[in-house]
Structure 1
Amino acid sequence: MLELKFFPISVEEDIWRYKSLLSQIDPYNPYSRYELIDLESSRDNKSLNYFLLTSKGLPIVLMPFYLEKIHIENEPTAYFDVTTPWGYMGPIVKPENISILESFWKKADEWYRSNNVISEFVRFSFNGNQMGYSGTIAHTLSNIRGRLLSTEELWGGFKRSVRKNYNTAIRNQLVYRIYHKNIPVEKIEDFYSIWKGTMDRLEAAPSYYHSLDYFSNYICNNEDCCALAIVENPDGVAISTELLLFNEDTMFSFLGGTDAKYFASRPNDLLKIESMKWAREQGLKYYMLGGGLSDGDTLYQYKKKFFPEEPEVIFYTGRKIVNPEVYGEISLLSGFGYSEPFIQNDLSNRFFPKYRSQKVSL
């Protein structure tokens, strides 16, 4: 007997219940931790919630999501849309229960229709949890993932420019350090300063910025699944950094940055290669570098140089229009066209739903 339940996450008891359920279904997933997914729930009109699918009372599927009220010209409507948190997410399920996701989505769609949800945007993980999805699955970005082989095999697999950049960093006497568990506050501050400086230099949109407290809260409450990698100049000043996340077999490149004054010293190549060595020593098998802002861009090409012969993995997103009639009306009132072809095309756009195209990030 399958039963779908809806729960908000707003008070300490809710948080405790969510964490307890997560530990039963997938205790290793760094992206599903409460301290990460709570990022946007403080925004106006948006609440953090989750679905729980049980079988004979036992938790089988867990999916956190944001439920956001739709406004037209700052006036609230009676409708909502759903977005899953940033990162590799979607429904959280054990591998042996993947086949049950088709039933999960049917029940979720029933809940949407009963609660005035008109659309849904899902960021999936890499464990096949897009299977059984009742909406449209979109190939969104090609991601670079490499096996953590021996040091000799890794070195031989890098493009020549990577090896050259690493040697440049060594000649410049740069020093690599990694902090895992009991990470000093000053190191988190170093990370934040470099990361924020990088965001400022790239003129990132305000929605991409996070607070120092956000990072500190995540790092201090999830020591089992994160580490800080930092490269210092010969004077001991942090110049490049990365927050690394990991599950039972994969290290993920999450967020980081480099002081632009030290680009010529190539600290980022040193950071990535030494992080691979460290991860392999911890028993991890893969390094997920992610992709670019779009397939084939300069960021993608830079990451590909570390694993030029490894097959890419695809980051999928799911798009669903639960109520086409209301979706079309809201799109029209938001300044976009409305027709059946328009709606079908909207499902394949990079940003979905279109009426939130300036707010939704991949």
Structure 2
Amino acid sequence: MQRLIPASERDDWRAALAPLGALDPSYLPEYHLAYALRVAHSRPLLWHFSSDGQHFLYPFLLTPVLLGTVATPYFDITSVYGYTGPIATTADSRFLAAAWAAFDGYAAQQRIIAEFVRFSPFNRNQGFAHPQASVLANRTLAASQLPASDPPASHQALLQSLGAKTRNMLRKAERAGLVARELPLPQYLPQFRALYDATMERHQAPPFFRYDDAYWQQLLALGAQGLRLFGTFGRCTGGRMTAAAMAIVHGASGLYHLGASGDEGAGPGAGNLSLFAMSCALMDSGVGFLNLTGGRTAAPDDPLLLFKRSNANGTAVFHIGQRIVDPPAYNAVARQWQQLRGAPPEAGKVVFWRF
């Protein structure tokens, strides 16, 4: 059996995910609906193949191929900005061959010419990539393996697993009177948004990292257990929020989604304290793997990555996959691009019309 499930059919999507067990939070339909708002004309879909009690799932955004304002008859598929990709209940080669053969039939009918996949470091599913896909290790991520919850011992164990500099910053934050706690949503969303927007302005972040009302409202559909917010407050700031961390959670996996912090007057270690409070609370609710994600670049000395690594007790490797699904059609689009732009597409970027 094979079927396509739109993310708007959330119950069916979640039911299809169930046989896979523990999955990265990025697989959730609510997150796909939120991210699809940021990719014009895209449709968030879950392709489901099943046979003899085994299941193959592939979530993606189906998007028309546009060369600027020039339309083409083709489509591409890309992962959401997160960590998903194809995954199955078995690694049996015959089952996977049948699943991919069925998918290639769908891709031909839909006129899909290229795919770009972001794999999950939690599920380590890059081995389920299409046989013709090029899979590469893209960058290092900060990640924590959280001990089984048994507070306060487990909190102390997590603290001791962090670096000496981070532990020192946490002590400074406590001495300065800073306190971090979990915050109910949507009540605290306006405060978080204001702090987040100010953080992006201060760092001159590109428009991609700014979010509109529709995105936030869709994210709230994850519910109280799926979307969690932690904030740091202090006497020295008049009780206002000085740092915050937001996570998306699904079962045993947590994903640090967004963070924000005030200027230098926020107090020492405010950001560290938010992340530690988030790690402890998620651990207490059964999360065993927390992906704090990577830096602004793939460089191993990226400052943001180094900060995240200092607040995690380990690392993970992020893989990407690319595939030209229909070479003749793809080459025709590349020639059309060169005619329109006067230059060939950038080498190494399969979905060159968007990324």
- TM-score for the superposition, normalised by structure 1: 0.82
Q: What is the rounded CA distance, in whole Å, between the counterparts of 1:187 and 1:211 in structure 2?
A: 16
- Identify the match of residue 303 of structure 1 among 294, 308, 320: 308
Paired residue type of 1:18: W
In the comparison of the two structures, how many residue pairs are matched?
336
- Identify the match of residue 55 of structure 1 among 51, 54, 73: 51
Contact 1:25 1:59 in 2 (8 A): no
The runs of 5 or more residues in structure 1 that have no matched partner are 358-362
Change (3 A) 1:146 1:185: closer
Q: Name the counterpart of 2:244.
A: 241
User: SS state of the match for residue 84, structure 2?
Assistant: coil
Using the TM superposition, give the Cα deviation of residue 227 of structure 1 relative to its aligned residue in structure 2, in angstroms. Answer: 1.4
Cα offsets for 1:45-72 (capped at 9, x unmatched): 322222111225x672332221111123
Equivalences for residues 1-362 of structure 1 within 5 A: 3-9=1-7, 14-23=9-18, 25-26=20-21, 29-42=24-37, 43-55=39-51, 60-94=55-89, 96=90, 100-126=95-121, 127-134=123-130, 135-149=133-147, 150-179=154-183, 183-234=184-235, 235-293=238-296, 294-296=298-300, 297-307=302-312, 310=314, 312-334=315-337, 335=341, 336-337=343-344, 346=348, 351-357=349-355
User: SS state of the match for residue 83, structure 2?
Assistant: coil
Could you tell me the percent identity over the aligned residues? 20
Q: What is the rounded CA distance, in whole Å, between the counterparts of 1:259 and 1:247 in structure 2?
A: 29
Paired residue type of 1:290: T
Change (3 A) 1:26 1:226: farther
Contact 2:43 2:62 in 1 (8 A): yes
Using the TM superposition, give the Cα deviation of residue 73 of structure 1 relative to its aligned residue in structure 2, in angstroms. Answer: 4.3
User: SS state of the match for residue 239, structure 2?
Assistant: coil
Using the TM superposition, give the Cα deviation of residue 245 of structure 1 relative to its aligned residue in structure 2, in angstroms. Answer: 2.2
Contact 2:77 2:116 in 1 (8 A): yes
Q: Name the counterpart of 1:360.
A: none
Using the TM superposition, give the Cα deviation of residue 86 of structure 1 relative to its aligned residue in structure 2, in angstroms. Answer: 1.7
Paired residue type of 2:210: Y
- The ranges of structure 1 where at least 4 consecutive aligned residues each deviate by more than 6 angstroms after the TM superposition are none
Change (3 A) 1:101 1:207: farther
Change (3 A) 1:4 1:274: same
Cα offsets for 1:272-307 (capped at 9, x unmatched): 222223233333333321111213111112222234
Change (3 A) 1:242 1:123: same
Change (3 A) 1:219 1:47: closer
The runs of 5 or more residues in structure 2 that have no matched partner are 148-153
User: SS state of the match for residue 223, structure 1?
Assistant: coil
Q: What is the rounded CA distance, in whole Å, between the counterparts of 2:310 and 2:68 in structure 1?
A: 46
Task: Provide the alpha-carbon RMSD of the alignment.
Answer: 2.7
Change (3 A) 1:98 1:84: farther
Cα offsets for 1:130-183 (capped at 9, x unmatched): 21322111111211222224344433332232122112211221111113xxx2
Contact 1:101 1:133 in 2 (8 A): no
Change (3 A) 1:159 1:68: same
- TM-score for the superposition, normalised by structure 2: 0.83
Using the TM superposition, give the Cα deviation of residue 92 of structure 1 relative to its aligned residue in structure 2, in angstroms. Answer: 4.6
